Structure 1
Amino acid sequence: MLTSKQRATLRAKANTLEVVFQVGKGEIDEQLIKSTADCLAARELIKMKVLETSMYTAKEAANALAEAVDAEVVQVIGGRFVLYKQKKENSAYAELLTETKKRK
């Protein structure tokens, strides 16, 4: 579980990220879940978009995907959302988040 300071740090890092996947008018299927999991395994922090024609809101899609891939929802704004899942090894964000936690 992320603290509010850790979440703020990740939001700042996600600000410059490009959208990697879009949730369209279809269901959130196994292919999207697998692609999201693979992308999170490689990048740890990803930004996604929900199209206006989708049957999901951004919050619903973020929560569904986060639960399916065991990730954290960092932020939901408009039709975009950010997911985070820390790598077990060589995490780019682990040290940054540990520093943030210590600054309390």
Structure 2
Amino acid sequence: MLTGKQKRYLRSMAHHLDPVFQVGKNGTNEHLMRHINDAIEKRELMKVQILNNCLDDKHEIAEELAAETGSELVQLIGSTIILYKESRDHKQIELPRG
């Protein structure tokens, strides 16, 4: 579980990142989850964009992505989801204590 200080730190790091994946009108599926899981293992921190034609609730999508990939939901702002998962093999981000 991330603390408020750690979430603020991760939000500042994610500010300049571009979304890696997009969730469209078909919503999420197993194929998308597998790709997100692989990508987040390498990157640790990533953005996912929810497109306007997606009919599913963005809060449900964000929680589903976090649960299925085993990552932490850092922020849902507008239609952008920020996810963080500590990498086992490609650790790059050192979180502040607290």
Identify whether the pair has TM-score above 0.5, normalized to the shorter chain. yes
- Give deviations 1:23-71, integer Å, cap 9, x for gaps: 0010311110001001101101000110111022332211111100110
Matched with 1:28 is: 28
Q: Contact conserved, 1:49 with 1:58, CA < 8 A, in 2?
A: no
**AA partner of residue 4 (structure 2):** S
* Cα RMSD for the two superposed structures: 1.2
Q: Distance in 2 between matches of 1:42 and 1:90?
A: 6
Matched with 1:88 is: 88
Q: Contact conserved, 2:43 with 2:90, CA < 8 A, in 1?
A: no
Identity among equivalent pairs (%): 38
Structure 1 moving runs of 4+ over 4 Å: none
**AA partner of residue 70 (structure 1):** G
Partner-residue secondary structure (3-state), 1:56: coil
Q: Distance in 1 between matches of 2:87 and 2:35?
A: 16
Q: Contact conserved, 1:57 with 1:79, CA < 8 A, in 2?
A: no
Matched with 2:42 is: 42
Matched with 1:61 is: 61
Higher relative contact order (CA 8 A, sep 6+): 2
**AA partner of residue 18 (structure 1):** D
Tell me, which stretches of 5 or more residues in structure 1 are unaligned? none
**Larger radius of gyration between Structure 1 and Structure 2:** 1
Matched with 1:9 is: 9
Give the aligned length.
98
Tell me, which stretches of 5 or more residues in structure 2 are unaligned? none
Normalization by structure 2: what TM-score? 0.93
* TM-fit CA distance, 1:90: 4.1
Normalization by structure 1: what TM-score? 0.88
Matched with 2:51 is: 51
